[in-house]
Structure formats: C-alpha cells, structure tokens
A and B are shown apart, each in its own frame.
Chain A
Amino acid sequence: MHVVLADYFPVLVFVVIAFGIAGAMLGGSLLAGQQKPYAEKLSAYECGFDAFDDARRRFDVRFYLVSILFIIFDLEVAFLFPWAVALGRIGLFGFLSMLAFLGVLTVGFIYEWRKGALDWE
C-alpha cells in the first residue's frame, strides 16, 4: 500500500504547489489591489454569448469556420505524425507523397484565404 502511494508523491507535491501559487495570487490581489467592480467586468466570458441565456439564438458563422478550419488542419497534422516517425524507412517516395498531400491541403487553404474565411471581421 505504501509502495503504491509513494509513486504518487510527486503528484501531491504538484497539487500543494498549485494550490499555494493560486492562493497566493488571489490572496495578494484581494489584499493589495483596489476593488472597483462593475456589471460588465463581472459577467461570464462566453464568446460573446450570455452564459445562462436561451440556447436558441442566431449562430455566428465565424465560429463554425474557425472550428472547421481547426479540425481539418488538425487532422493534417495527425497524418504528419506517423509520417515523421517512419520517414527514414519510406525515403524519397514517402517524402514526395506527403508533399502531394500537403499540396492538396494548401490548395484548400488558398481557396479559403481568397474567399475570406480567414477574415474575422
């Protein structure tokens, strides 16, 4: 039992330090800083939406665009990982294949760039 718990000792140290630093920061600002709350500062940060409002509101398409762009390029990276690990064994052919794949995704990138999907406003 003690042997198992001993393995988790670093986690305990981590938790204590985390609480300690967080507590020191909060306590410090409570004691030393000036308190000037107003309504806007106290509202929750929810991407511009009200936190406890009705969920049925007009959805901003920009959020969709960002999330879709993220997921596509994230999966591109997911393909890059095994390729990077095995690059020694697949040689030039493997390198060129991945270049072709990246090229296709770059075409998509050029398309969305010119269509204005990357402009936030």
Chain B
Amino acid sequence: MGAVAPANAILLAAILFGLGLAGVLIRRNLIFMLMSIEVMLNATGLAFVAGGARWGQADGQVMFLLVLTLAAAEISVGLALILLLQTRRPTLDSDVGNRLKG
C-alpha cells in the first residue's frame, strides 16, 4: 500500500466538512449539532495534515494537535451550556430554545 496523495485527503476533508456543515444547519437535536461541529473541526484537521504532507512541513501536524485540543475545549463548553438549558427545559430540541425573537 503506497502513501495517500494529499490531494485526495484534501478532497475527503472537503466532503467531511460539507457533511458536518450540513449537519449543523439541518439537525434540530442539539447533541447532533455538536457532533456535526466536531466532524467539521476534525475535517479541517485532516486538511491541515494533508497540507503539511504536501509541503513537507510539520506545521500541519502541529495545527492538528491544536485543533483537536480546541475542539475538545469547545465541546466541554458546549455540553455545559446544553446541560444548563436542559435543567430549565428538559429537551434537546433546538427549536424550543428560540424564545428570543424580533
């Protein structure tokens, strides 16, 4: 098995990113929206690693590590906020949390 061409990896990253983006915009369940955001961030991580492979630089892998860490931090904050909302209204339906309008 040879190495994967970076162009293919970037294509895969683009597809995954698109799927994640669609997930955030279409899904109503907050947990699924969070998962889709996670998918988006990991797709960009893949794109970074592929870019680093293409140009022969370690920047891509360094950035991947940072992206992973930031995604974890973001998810912890996000889950905390979801739990906060849940204790007020026990639902994961994002349409309900839409009282503010105008």
Binding site for B on A (CB under 8 A): 56, 58-59, 61, 64, 68, 71-72, 75, 78-79, 82
Q: Are B69 and A64 neighbours in the complex by a CB distance under 8 Å?
A: no
Please, which residues of chain B bring their CB within 8 A of the CB of A58? 90
- Once the chains are docked, how many angstroms separate the CA of A64 from the CA of B83? 9
Q: Are B75 and A71 neighbours in the complex by a CB distance under 8 Å?
A: yes
- Once the chains are docked, how many angstroms separate the CA of A68 from the CA of B77? 9
Tally of B interface residues using CB under 8 Å: 14
How many residue pairs, one in A and one in B, have C-beta atoms under 8 Å apart?
A: 28
Q: Are A79 and B65 neighbours in the complex by a CB distance under 8 Å?
A: yes
Interface of B is mostly: helix
Q: Given A56-B90, A58-B90, A59-B86, do A68 and B79 touch, yes or no (CB 8 Å)?
A: yes
Q: Identify the closest chain A residue to B76 (Cβ).
A: A68
Q: Are B72 and A72 neighbours in the complex by a CB distance under 8 Å?
A: yes
Please, which residues of chain A bring their CB within 8 A of the CB of B92? 56
Q: Is B10 an interface residue (CB 8 A)?
A: no
- Once the chains are docked, how many angstroms separate the CA of A34 from the CA of B91? 46
Residues 17-51 (chain B) with a chain A CB within 8 angstroms: none
- Once the chains are docked, how many angstroms separate the CA of A71 from the CA of B91? 25
Q: Are B80 and A64 neighbours in the complex by a CB distance under 8 Å?
A: yes
- Once the chains are docked, how many angstroms separate the CA of A2 from the CA of B21? 47
The 28 sampled A-B contact pairs (Cβ below 8 Å) are A56-B90, A56-B91, A56-B92, A58-B90, A59-B83, A59-B86, A61-B83, A64-B79, A64-B80, A64-B83, A68-B76, A68-B79, A68-B80, A71-B72, A71-B75, A71-B76, A72-B72, A72-B73, A72-B76, A75-B68, A75-B69, A75-B72, A78-B65, A78-B68, A78-B69, A79-B65, A79-B69, A82-B65
**Interface digits, B60-102 against A, CB 8 Å rule (1 contact, 0 not)?**
0000010011001101100110010010001110000000000
